Amino acid sequence: MSAKRRGDEPKGDGVTGFPFDASRTGSWKISLPCSKAEAERISEGDLPEIDALDPQPTLMTSEPDPDQPEAWQLDAYVEDEPSKALIAIIAALAPSTKKKPVVTHIPEDDWVTMSQAGLEPIRAGRFFVHTPHNADAAPKGMTGFVIDAGRAFGTGHHETTTGCLEMLDRLRVAGRRFDDIVDVGTGTGLLAFAARALWPAAKVIASDIDPVSIEVTAENAEVNGVPMGRGRGQVELGVAPGLSDRRLRDRAPYDLLIANILAGPLIELAPVFADAVLPGGTVVLAGLLDTQADAVANAYRREGLYLTDSILRGDWRILRMAKRRR
């Protein structure tokens, strides 16, 4: 994905915004400190001041020092040199800080290096995920995926993605079997690829609101030898918010639905997701802060689902819920 729109997976420690391809154009970055509360508001995505912008910047929040849990940082990425008005809008997202925003230019040649730098391979359950710049072979007994960060955030290093990989692995270890799987807000395609690896006889479809994300997913599928198509053992791709595409609706009901987006859209889509899952089916929800977990879980309880498992990764909670059998 090229940093995704709000409503999809958070990147970095939390990212929201419209996509841009910095590997092609270079970019500009606006950086300033922010509080944890401000970072949480940004991650929740209810930002009318940003919605009014065209194009929208990509916002990333991160926790630079775990020993200072209240001290976070906001980075805003834009394609063109930012105006004073845009800098002021970004600064207003973090009213707690007294420091002026720092504006830096990221040349085209530096972007891929920056995006790949420091991204060590990750292990999550049986999965080993790395970038092309760190092409270590997967250890024996692990399933490896190469995910290029050059055009995208979302290589698997964010706690929500790592937690989802661990949750999927738990399901497989528990002996669960799935035949029809959907990955909503797929980003780079990693979770769809992982689901296919765990249940190779299943039919998998992956969607994202961002067309660039689907382009990147197709590229990643080719790199990782994941076959595309509608048959068993294949992954089909589609561009859609939620499950609005006809192909996604036609393939329902699913026995496994994965949605790594954000708390607001997860709550809003609870009735749609619940209707799209078979009785007894499983829903994996991510992209929500631990402080938002109760609200998200309650929205799905109202639709006839119940909580069966959860994973906490940093400040982020991954929920596994099951639909009650009739």
Secondary structure (3-state) at 206: strand
Scored b (16 or more CB within 10 A) or e, 64-98 reads eeeeeeeebbbbbbbbeebeeebbebbbebbeebe
- DSSP letters, 59-117, are EEEE-S-TTSTTEEEEEEEESSPPPHHHHHHHHHT-TT--SPPEEEEE-HHHHHHHHHT
Q: How many helices (H) and strands (E) does the chain have?
A: 12, 15
Q: Is 260 annotated as a binding residue?
A: yes
What are the two backbone dihedrals, phi and then psi, of residue 231, each rounded to the nearest 5 degrees? -85, 180
Q: Which of 161, 178, 156, 157 is nearest to 259 (CA)?
A: 161
Q: Is 186 annotated as a binding residue?
A: no
Please check whether residue 2 is in contact with residue 154, taking contact to mean a CB–CB distance below 8 angstroms: no
* 269 exposure class (CB count in 10 Å sphere: 0-12, 13-18, 19+): buried
User: Which H or E run includes 306?
Assistant: strand 305-313
Place of tokens 């791709």: 237
Q: Is 282 annotated as a binding residue?
A: no
Q: How far apart are the first and last CA of the chain?
A: 38
Q: Is 161 annotated as a binding residue?
A: yes
Q: Which of 15, 14, 272 is nearest to 5 (CA)?
A: 15
Residue numbers in the known binding site are 161, 185, 208, 260
> Which residue ranges make up the annotated binding site for S-adenosyl-L-methionine?
161, 185, 208, 260
